[in-house]
Structure 1
Amino acid sequence: MKRLAVYLKPFLPRMGMGISFKAVGTLVELAIPWILSYIIDDLIPLKEIRLVCLWGGLMIVCSLIAWGGNITANRMASAVARDCTRQIRHDLFQKISYLSESRVDAFTIPSLISRMTSDTYVLHQTVGMIQRIGIRAPLLLFGGIIVSLTMDPMLTLIMVASLPIVGVIVFYVSRKGAKLFKIVQKASDSMLRVVRENAVGVRVIKALSKSDYERARFKKVNDDLTEKERTAESTMALINPVMSLLLNLGIVAVITVGAVRVNNGTSEIGKIIAFMNLYTIVLNALMAINRIFMMLSRASASSARVLEVLDTPVELFETEPHFSFLPKDAPHVEFDHVTFRYARGSFAVRNIDFALKRGETLGIIGATGAGKSTIIRLLMRYYDVSEGSVKIDGVDIRDYATSDLRAKFGVVFQNDTLFKDTIRENIRLGRNLTDEQLLEAARRAQALEFIEEQGGLDAPVAIKGANLSGGQKQRLLLARALAGDPDILLLDDSSSALDYRTDAKLREEIRLHCADATKIIIAQRISSIMHAEKIMVLENGNVIGMGTHEELMETCPLYREIGESQIGEGLAKEVRA
């Protein structure tokens, strides 16, 4: 919470003004019971109607000042909470955007979404409540005690006798509640994960008639979250009945002692009535402080989760390169005995070693899970290698500024994403590209015809390209990759939804117009990579074959088996045209 208080610093002047309004309204409100006591005990016996009306009018004025001050302060508190939370969300989103994939894997996507939404909402509520009730409640509590002392010290002692007991209970329960709410937030992450998986895979679930299974899976995590919330809320709910019991017992004691004192002539009826009003004010103030402690318990857990992300070092973000010149005659792309394993799994790739000259093409083929996509992610430095090094132009990619490194690539990932926007913005993706460049990239990607049918570059694209076919989505993604004339073109199974004719045209356009770009193409079809200068065959993260199409047909049984199954034994053995 201390770290998050830094976000409130720019709003301190506005908070100070709001607190001033809140303090004035609260203090004026405390004057009303005292005025009532004065009217009943001192003015009514005089039978001076004019004075009674005058002081009664003063009570109305005090009520209006308290009402106006509280409303103004509450509006200002809401504005501060809104703006502060907006800045926290901005910084959190920015931090998440620069996290390495290994860090994202450690947090998990559902947890990051939960921290961005529910946790920041809890902080928003807390910041607002602290300004609205955190100032008002203590002023009412201590101000009510001070005013009551001026009227009847004996009754005040009875009233405050229960406060230490209440304080101990609130402290103990709130401390335990903070730990419980942290567990609740983790359970919320699990439920969000299941909901997200169901939303993404809804078509598969319906197609395989797995709705009952998924409902049961959701019920399990939902019941787990409900149980943890019940435990946390039940623990925090102990405070209210205990406070109510102690304070109601106090009221009974005040009425009893007050009646005795009035009967003995040591107190007056007006003071007892005013004292009951003050006791109600103090009671409400204590209940409000209880709500603050409950909210602070939740906020403590949420702030720890938010700070865990904000304090995570951004491993892969550098703004300045760590080299002064590029070595001459170095390969454009080089993997030097690279080995990598994910944090929670076995080795993804082992001893990957190859070098590509500028303009060369590397085709990668292999079974699912062989490590093909991992090579692209290592090249773009989404992950750092466990052993060896990855170099571009002879320089280790860890020595490049991240922005400079990523600017070299045009990439289409497997299962890549289209955004809810226009076709223009989905191809441009924030880069400074003209419409002519976008249309040229679309033409090379064989997407121009369907773009014109859709209505041109201003045609809308639904979330994840839901209004486009699989082939149209892939061609739009290819246009995005080609639009920036990248130095290195990375295509990860980017033509699986294209027919053979369109795939052949695409490869021809890439050959003619991307001659200077080094290309790494991951494919399931041998026809997509058989013309590459180098072809790598992967199996379980190991290179089991490297060479041209003809060489691998002779030396690599797996490659030969794939080739013969896809294009026939005779064609597979033909020499490249």
Structure 2
Amino acid sequence: MLIRLLRTYLRPYRPWLVTVVVLQLIGTLAALYLPSLNADIIDHGIAQGNTSYIMSTGARMLVVTLVQVVTIVAAVYYGARAAMAFGRDVRGAVFHQVGMFSAREVGQIGAPSLITRSTNDVQQVQMLVMMSTTMLVMAPIMGVGGVIMALRQDVELSWLMAVSVPVLLVGVLLIARRMVPQFRAMQDRIDGVNRVLREQITGIRVVRAFVREPFETERFAGANTALTDTALRAGRLMALMFPFVMLVLNASSVAVLWFGGMRVDNGSMQVGALTAFLTYLMQILMSVMMAMFMVVMVPRAAVSAERIAGVLDTESSVVSPADPVTELPAHAVLEFDGASFAFPGAEEPVLRDVNLRVEPGQTLAVVGSTGAGKTTLISLIPRLIDTTSGVVRFGGVDVRDIEPALMRRRMGLVPQKAYLFSGTVATNLRYGNPEATDDELWRALEIAQARDFVEAMPDGLNSPISQGGTNVSGGQRQRLAIARALVRKPDVYLFDDSFSALDVATDARLRAALRPHTSNAAVVIVAQRIATIIDADQILVLDDGAVVGRGSHDELLASCAAYAEIVESQLTAEEAA
């Protein structure tokens, strides 16, 4: 998964990566050349008192050093640009894919996990790309070049490399092997912390209302401790690696000085060559350490890549048609023909064999007990989910054959949980129609019975709205969501229990104001309150996903026991009549 992800999203940045490799090659060769020049200064300059040789060779060292600095800085610059662009593209791809998901896929993966995958997981792979362009490219060049240059200085001491490098390699690999499962577990622990924290922030009012702060504190502490323990285990192994590397480096330095000193003493080796050999050995061991550091990073990035690929490879159950219908009649009829819906692996469908027809200008009300499938029925119309059998038609065309954006532009949905975005009243209302004028916004607010409280706000339409609309009441939030749908002026209005937070008087005024505004549109209302739907042209009664009653209020009172039971639970016999 990691290789596939890198190959796919780094392809546009191949010129930058090639530039990085060339620059790293030049910079590393410069770094390998410097110890030889230093050895020449010692052996041919200092030892012989040749000042001019020291000056000329020192000038060459300065030039080589300048080349090394410039090329390494440029390599890091282009590598960072490639890594950041890679991260941006992957995050964009994940965001786009999640935007195409239906409610089924979002629920299957989970919102906290989706957030982690688009942030922390992308960051892990992005960091691997960044480190690869700086370390992984340099390590093999420096390792191989260091061996060649060390052998040029003295072959007799090469046995020290044959001992030091394998010892360092085996030790770091053993440590890295134990770190892999810790990194895999860490991503799951991060998901857990995000899930708990998101639930607590979203449900803070419930937590406080039931005085559950101590319980939630313990729950977060449990998730946080699990993440901390996993991170500490990985950190201890990481901390163990560096002392081990330094032990090998220092032991190798002592060995080179010990055995090399004896060769200098008997005249088999010059001091400059010994100094250069020691530097090359350090460079070789450092290159091995850099390579091993990358080995440690790869497993965590591989885990993250698998999680990212899990999102990118998940196909939405709502698929755009290959040859979509792009035109629909101005005022279309909405039909359900044997529509059913079942979640994968479920024993029973959520909806079974629903048949209905809503003409423009008609109002269909849907009632039923909790879990009867009312919201599922509403969701099938704008294709938030698709039927598993049967057909939903709009304008005589299967909604699965209509271009999704066109279909949804003809809908005005007010969801069960009214959600507002951070911004202002105006930006939230124009979410339904970006071209709407201020007069149109005020008109929609007036119909939705929201004009009075918006006018009372300090800045009117420009008054701020916090994320989720938490700075307004539940009833105000619902009325603003209704106004947002009205601004759109759709052909089908879908109200999913959208009047539940309104008092009876406001509900009645809103429906009275809404009636002339929707005279040419089909209206589907899901409601629990009988007073909200009592005047509907047709009422559909759902029970356990099946239609058990259909007709007007009076007809259903006489023929449908389930409807009569709902009515009796809310109204007296006289009120119902």
- TM-score normalized by structure 1? 0.92
Structure 2 counterpart of 1:337: 338
The DSSP-based 3-state class of the residue aligned with 1:27 is: helix
Task: Kindly indicate whether the alpha-carbon contact (under 8 Å) linking 1:239 and 1:290 is maintained by their aligned counterparts in 2.
Answer: no
The DSSP-based 3-state class of the residue aligned with 2:228 is: helix
C-alpha displacement of 1:193: 0.9
Distance 1:400 1:445, change over 3 A: same
The DSSP-based 3-state class of the residue aligned with 1:153 is: coil
Structure 2 counterpart of 1:542: 546
Task: Kindly indicate whether the alpha-carbon contact (under 8 Å) linking 1:122 and 1:298 is maintained by their aligned counterparts in 2.
Answer: yes
Structure 2 counterpart of 1:23: 25
- 1:25-174 to 2 correspondence within 5 Å? 25-164=27-166, 166-167=168-169
CA distance in 1, matches of 2:275, 2:354: 86
Q: 1:239-261: CA deviations, max 9, x gaps? A: 55555555544334323321221
Query: AA paired with 1:279?
Result: L
Match of 1:519 among 523, 532, 540: 523
Match of 1:528 among 526, 529, 532: 532
The DSSP-based 3-state class of the residue aligned with 1:46 is: coil
Structure 2 counterpart of 1:358: 360
Query: AA paired with 1:442?
Result: L
Task: Kindly indicate whether the alpha-carbon contact (under 8 Å) linking 2:433 and 2:487 is maintained by their aligned counterparts in 1.
Answer: no
Structure 2 counterpart of 1:458: 462
Structure 2 counterpart of 1:510: 514
Task: Kindly indicate whether the alpha-carbon contact (under 8 Å) linking 1:28 and 1:65 is maintained by their aligned counterparts in 2.
Answer: yes
The DSSP-based 3-state class of the residue aligned with 1:457 is: helix
Distance 1:208 1:20, change over 3 A: same
- 1:6-405 to 2 correspondence within 5 Å? 6-164=8-166, 166-167=168-169, 177-178=179-180, 180-232=182-234, 240=242, 243-318=245-320, 321-322=323-324, 332-343=333-344, 346-405=348-407
User: How much is the aligned-residue C-alpha RMSD, in angstroms?
Assistant: 2.7
Structure 1 counterpart of 2:496: 492
Q: 1:104-125: CA deviations, max 9, x gaps? A: 2221111111110001111221
CA distance in 2, matches of 1:477, 1:465: 10
Structure 2 counterpart of 1:443: 446
Of 248-257 and 364-373, deviating more is 248-257
CA distance in 2, matches of 1:279, 1:291: 18
C-alpha displacement of 1:568: 2.8
Query: AA paired with 1:372?
Result: K
CA distance in 1, matches of 2:9, 2:374: 44
CA distance in 2, matches of 1:428, 1:453: 20
CA distance in 2, matches of 1:549, 1:249: 91
Q: 1:26-49: CA deviations, max 9, x gaps? A: 222222211121111121122122
CA distance in 2, matches of 1:171, 1:351: 60
The DSSP-based 3-state class of the residue aligned with 2:480 is: helix
CA distance in 1, matches of 2:308, 2:498: 37
Q: 1:356-405: CA deviations, max 9, x gaps? A: 22322111222222221111112222222233222223322222221122
The DSSP-based 3-state class of the residue aligned with 1:110 is: helix
Distance 1:58 1:343, change over 3 A: same
Query: AA paired with 1:338?
Result: A
Of 386-395 and 482-491, deviating more is 386-395
Distance 1:243 1:397, change over 3 A: same
Task: Kindly indicate whether the alpha-carbon contact (under 8 Å) linking 1:178 and 1:301 is maintained by their aligned counterparts in 2.
Answer: no
Query: AA paired with 2:453?
Result: F
C-alpha displacement of 1:324: 9.4
Percent identity, aligned pairs only, is: 35
Task: Kindly indicate whether the alpha-carbon contact (under 8 Å) linking 2:436 and 2:487 is maintained by their aligned counterparts in 1.
Answer: no
C-alpha displacement of 1:217: 1.5
CA distance in 1, matches of 2:117, 2:62: 46
CA distance in 1, matches of 2:484, 2:158: 75
Query: AA paired with 1:531?
Result: D
Structure 1 counterpart of 2:3: 2
Task: Kindly indicate whether the alpha-carbon contact (under 8 Å) linking 2:326 and 2:406 is maintained by their aligned counterparts in 1.
Answer: no
Of 232-241 and 291-300, deviating more is 232-241
CA distance in 2, matches of 1:269, 1:317: 74
CA distance in 2, matches of 1:442, 1:321: 39
Q: 1:199-222: CA deviations, max 9, x gaps? A: 101111112111111122222222
Distance 1:140 1:331, change over 3 A: closer
Q: How many residues align?
A: 572
CA distance in 1, matches of 2:345, 2:195: 18
CA distance in 2, matches of 1:48, 1:192: 68
The DSSP-based 3-state class of the residue aligned with 1:434 is: coil
CA distance in 2, matches of 1:326, 1:75: 53
Task: Kindly indicate whether the alpha-carbon contact (under 8 Å) linking 1:337 and 1:353 is maintained by their aligned counterparts in 2.
Answer: yes
Distance 1:255 1:46, change over 3 A: closer
Q: 1:159-192: CA deviations, max 9, x gaps? A: 1444345546656765675555333322321221
Q: 1:31-84: CA deviations, max 9, x gaps? A: 221112111112112212232233234333333332333223222222221122
Query: AA paired with 1:54?
Result: S
Distance 1:333 1:430, change over 3 A: closer
**Structure 2: runs of 5+ lacking an equivalent:** none
Query: AA paired with 1:309?
Result: V
Q: 1:408-456: CA deviations, max 9, x gaps? A: 2101101121111122221111634321333322222122232232223
Distance 1:191 1:520, change over 3 A: same
Task: Kindly indicate whether the alpha-carbon contact (under 8 Å) linking 2:24 and 2:71 is maintained by their aligned counterparts in 1.
Answer: yes
C-alpha displacement of 1:152: 0.7
Of 480-489 and 540-549, deviating more is 540-549
Structure 2 counterpart of 1:407: 409
Query: AA paired with 2:149?
Result: V
C-alpha displacement of 1:129: 0.8
Query: AA paired with 2:525?
Result: I
CA distance in 1, matches of 2:455, 2:100: 36
- Tell whether 2:480 aligns with 1:476: yes
Query: AA paired with 2:343?
Result: Y
CA distance in 2, matches of 1:378, 1:241: 61
The DSSP-based 3-state class of the residue aligned with 1:295 is: helix
**Structure 1: runs of 5+ lacking an equivalent:** none
Task: Kindly indicate whether the alpha-carbon contact (under 8 Å) linking 1:331 and 1:355 is maintained by their aligned counterparts in 2.
Answer: no
Query: AA paired with 2:96?
Result: Q
CA distance in 1, matches of 2:239, 2:296: 9
CA distance in 2, matches of 1:219, 1:2: 36
Task: Kindly indicate whether the alpha-carbon contact (under 8 Å) linking 1:320 and 1:400 is maintained by their aligned counterparts in 2.
Answer: no
- TM-score normalized by structure 2? 0.92
CA distance in 2, matches of 1:340, 1:430: 28
C-alpha displacement of 1:338: 2.7
Of 345-354 and 513-522, deviating more is 345-354
Distance 1:171 1:6, change over 3 A: farther
